[in-house]
Amino acid sequence: MGIFSRLSDVINSNIHAMLDKAEDPEKMVRLIIQEMEDTLVEVRSTSVRTLARKKELQRTIAHLGAEAADWQAKAELAMSKNREDLARGALGARQRVIDHLSSVEQEMVHIDSEIAKLDDDTSKLKAKLADARQRQKTIVLRQQSVSSRLRVKSQINDSKMSEAMLRMEQYEGKIDRMEAEVEAYDLGTRSIADEFAQLEADDKVEEELAKLRAKFAKPAAPAADDSANS
């Protein structure tokens, strides 16, 4: 048995509520869309048959109208020839045609009403179908997002992943210690270039210090050798 039993059930359905109650919303929305599409095909088929019937009735109405006019002309011709009996028969035939015409016109009114309802129902059904398809896209995207997040969470909480990260940290620590040992070997082994660079740096510092002394007019401190001699 389908999700919907009649067209009105589809139109009046609350898709959101149905999906909230479903154990598998993605599967449910696929079923809803499939049944809506099947219903839409049936509605269109009914509309085609109804429109074909309308065209048939239009032809019948036109034929009966012409026939009634023809009997009216015959009745008038008979009266002009003083054949009242023929005129009476023609008018009787005309009345039967008019009665038939009235019945067909009533059916036409009914057909027009049905066509209007079918057009309205088709529009509502298309709107429901568009809503269901949009919800399907949203559900699929949410399902994919949740699946991806679950995979990431499982990897983050995986003991093997934690062990691997720990081993990486240990290895990095080992490299740090090796680099420290290399730097320790370099201590106290300054090159001649390093010595000259240090002298140049000391000279620059002395020059800047002399400028500051001159700026603040502070006499230079006596050298260590002068203090000893005095």
Q: What is the pLDDT of residues 171-211, one digit of tens each?
A: 778 787 777 776 666 555 556 766 677 777 777 778 887 88
84 located within any domain: yes
Q: Are residues 205 and 144 located together in one domain of the fold? A: no
104 located within any domain: yes
> What is the three-class DSSP state of 85?
helix
How far is the C-alpha of 125 from the C-alpha of 109, rounded, in Å? 24
Which is higher by pLDDT, 80 or 213? 80
- Dihedral sign from CA coordinates of 54, 60, 61, 63: positive
Residue 111 has pLDDT above 80, yes or no: yes
Domain count, the chain: 2
Domain endpoint, select from 159, 178, 204: 159
Q: Which residue has the tokens 């809506």?
A: 36
> Looking at residue 116, which CATH number applies to its domain?
1.10.287
How far is the C-alpha of 7 from the C-alpha of 22, rounded, in Å? 22
How far is the C-alpha of 124 from the C-alpha of 131, rounded, in Å? 11
172 located within any domain: no
Residue 155 has pLDDT above 50, yes or no: yes
pLDDT above 70 coverage of the chain, percent: 71
Which is higher by pLDDT, 204 or 81? 81
> What 8-state DSSP symbol labels residue 12?
T
23 located within any domain: yes
Q: Which residue has the tokens 């589809």?
A: 10
Which pLDDT score is estimated for 37? Answer: 87
Residue 222 has pLDDT above 60, yes or no: no
Q: Domain limits at 201? A: 193-217
69 located within any domain: yes
Q: Are residues 89 and 134 located together in one domain of the fold? A: yes
128 contacts 15 by C-beta, under 8 angstroms: yes
95 located within any domain: yes
87 located within any domain: yes
Cβ atoms < 10 Å from Cβ of 11? 17
- What's the pTM value of the predicted model, to 2 decimals? 0.52
